């Protein structure tokens, strides 16, 4: 059977719907979000757009159909994400924050846990509910799995009777404020069940309902870009939850659970990167076709301008098809093969910074101003892609390095679809 990159009729319609939604709902608010005076105002400026996400059914696209969702594949989500991110990264990132929080429940929760935690999100047609994956410690995140118990995750869940008592502090907890700044609907907390145990024995993933006493919303960080994505500091001060809020098994499987979740979002960041590259390329292309810059011919007629556009377009196309391949492989293996998802996150995010910068160079100084060009906003948003959701240096390249060091690593495995778990201990 030949390799076929043609979209199905359903995927084409999804692409069209996402593009139209982005043009009608996201494009009008992108600048308002970005120019808000502070992080909280920027986030609340996105509220109505996220409400429209709920009404359009986007907020439940990743939830399985048996729990009221649309059950879209990762590849389908990537197709939609590219279209949405072409106009705005903020509101789609809030949506993906929900997906990141729910991923462990969707794929590792018991039937009872899935019904209890997923159904409210499926029934939410107004975008009221937000979920947050509470992963990054205030001291950092790269060495979360330190073999020395003195390092690594420092948020501790102690078993007292039939309850977990969770104490610790996280930050960059996307969506963690909720819409009213008092907390979100639920947190999926990465913690340790014993501070004397190393990561491979003590790591755990526990769901914490947002109305539990002891949850404190702290600082809200204002950022250079992604200004409408809320990134708070969250304290868990002896927060008590039922023992059956534990997702999967502590130790090796817990580590696999949230690494798999980050691979899922990593592939989607690849798609978002493609969307931002497209926006920058199309702006530069339009500039080249319409501007003469005191010359007698449009600047696109000049070889240097055309060659730089060609390089940008090649990076866009290469990034899109790497993302599609990564999503296809992730879907096909049920998340067991994560190499290409990690590679897509690294490659596409770094390609995006290069493409947007080259488009700014083509447009010139006007691209650096808020008055004449969207490129300065696109660049500020794009700069976050290599840094967040597992930094490309601190975490993502390390994940690939760990794969390469395995004795049975197959260099052609990802290319030809050989199933190989990126992290042992998963499903």
Backbone angles phi, psi at 278, to 5 degrees: -60, -45
Q: Which residues of the chain have a pLDDT value below 70?
A: 1-2, 418-427
Write out pLDDT tens, residues 242-289: 999 999 999 999 999 999 999 999 999 999 999 999 999 999 999 999
What pLDDT is recorded for position 413?
86
Q: Dihedral of the CA atoms 366, 369, 372, 373 (nearest 10)?
A: 90
What pLDDT is recorded for position 419?
57
pTM of the full structure: 0.94
371: DSSP letter: T
What pLDDT is recorded for position 418?
61
What pLDDT is recorded for position 423?
45
Which region, left, alpha or beta, applies to residue 129 given φ > 0 means left and ψ of -120 to 50 means alpha? Answer: beta
Write out pLDDT tens, residues 173-207: 999 999 999 999 999 999 999 989 887 789 999 99
Closest to 325 in 3D by CA, of 277, 267, 409: 267
Q: Strand 131-134 and strand 232-242: pairing?
A: unpaired
Closest to 324 in 3D by CA, of 95, 73, 97, 60: 73
Of all residues in the chain, the percent with pLDDT exceeding 70 is: 97
Closest to 252 in 3D by CA, of 331, 196, 198: 198
Cα dihedral sign, 258-79-416-329: positive
SS3 label, residue 414: helix
Closest to 349 in 3D by CA, of 373, 374, 311, 315: 315
What secondary structure, in 3-state letters, does 55-105 show? Answer: HHCHHHCCCCHHHCCCCCCHHHHHHHHHHHHCCCCHHHHHHHHHHHHHHHH
**Whether 311 is catalytic:** no
- Catalytic residue, chosen from 219, 389, 410, 424, is 389
What count of residues does the chain have?
A: 427
Where do the domains of the chain lie, and which CATH numbers do they carry? Answer: 9-123 (1.10.540.10), 131-249 (2.40.110.10), 253-416 (1.20.140.10)
**Mean pLDDT rounded to a whole number for the chain:** 94
The DSSP bridge partners found for residue 134 are 189
């Amino acid at each position: 059977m030949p390799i076929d990159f043609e979209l199905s009729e359903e995927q084409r319609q999804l692409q069209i719907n996402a593009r139209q939604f982005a043009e009608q709902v996201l494009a009008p608010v992108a600048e308002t979000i970005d120019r808000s005076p502070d992080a909280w105002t920027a986030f609340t400026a996105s509220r109505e757009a996220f409400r429209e996400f709920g009404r359009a059914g986007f907020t439940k696209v990743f939830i399985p159909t048996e729990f009221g969702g649309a059950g879209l594949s990762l590849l389908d989500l990537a197709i939609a994400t590219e279209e949405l991110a072409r106009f705005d990264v903020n509101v789609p990132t809030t949506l993906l924050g929900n997906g990141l929080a729910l991923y462990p429940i969707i794929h590792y929760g018991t039937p009872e846990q899935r019904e209890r935690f997923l159904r409210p999100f499926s029934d939410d047609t107004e975008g009221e509910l937000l979920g947050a994956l509470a992963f990054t410690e205030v001291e950092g995140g790269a060495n979360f799995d330190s073999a020395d118990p003195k390092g690594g995750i420092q948020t501790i869940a102690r078993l007292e009777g039939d309850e977990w008592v969770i104490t610790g502090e996280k930050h960059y907890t996307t969506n963690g404020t909720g819409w009213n700044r008092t907390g979100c609907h639920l947190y999926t907390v990465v913690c340790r069940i014993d501070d004397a145990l190393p990561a491979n024995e003590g790591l755990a993933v526990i769901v914490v309902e947002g109305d539990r006493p002891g949850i404190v919303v702290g600082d809200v960080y204002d950022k250079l870009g992604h200004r409408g994505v809320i990134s708070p500091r969250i304290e868990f001060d002896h927060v008590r939850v039922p023992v059956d809020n534990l997702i999967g098994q502590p130790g090796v499987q817990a580590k696999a659970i949230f690494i798999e979740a980050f691979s899922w979002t990593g592939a989607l960041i690849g798609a978002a990167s493609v969307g931002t590259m497209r926006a920058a390329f199309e702006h530069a292309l339009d500039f080249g076709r319409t501007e003469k810059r005191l010359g007698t011919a449009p600047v696109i007629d000049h070889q240097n301008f055309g060659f730089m556009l060609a390089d940008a377009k090649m990076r866009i196309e290469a990034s899109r098809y790497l993302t599609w391949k990564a999503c296809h492989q992730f879907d096909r293996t049920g998340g067991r093969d994560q190499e290409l998802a990690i590679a897509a996150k690294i490659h596409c995010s770094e390609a995006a910074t290069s493409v947007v910068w080259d488009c700014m160079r083509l447009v010139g100084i006007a691209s650096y101003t808020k008055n004449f060009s969207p490129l300065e906003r696109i660049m500020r948003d794009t700069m976050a892609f290599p840094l967040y959701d597992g930094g490309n240096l601190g975490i993502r390249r390390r994940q690939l390095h760990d794969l390469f060091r395995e004795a049975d690593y197959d260099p052609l495995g990802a290319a030809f679809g050989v199933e190989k778990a990126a992290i042992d201990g998963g499903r």
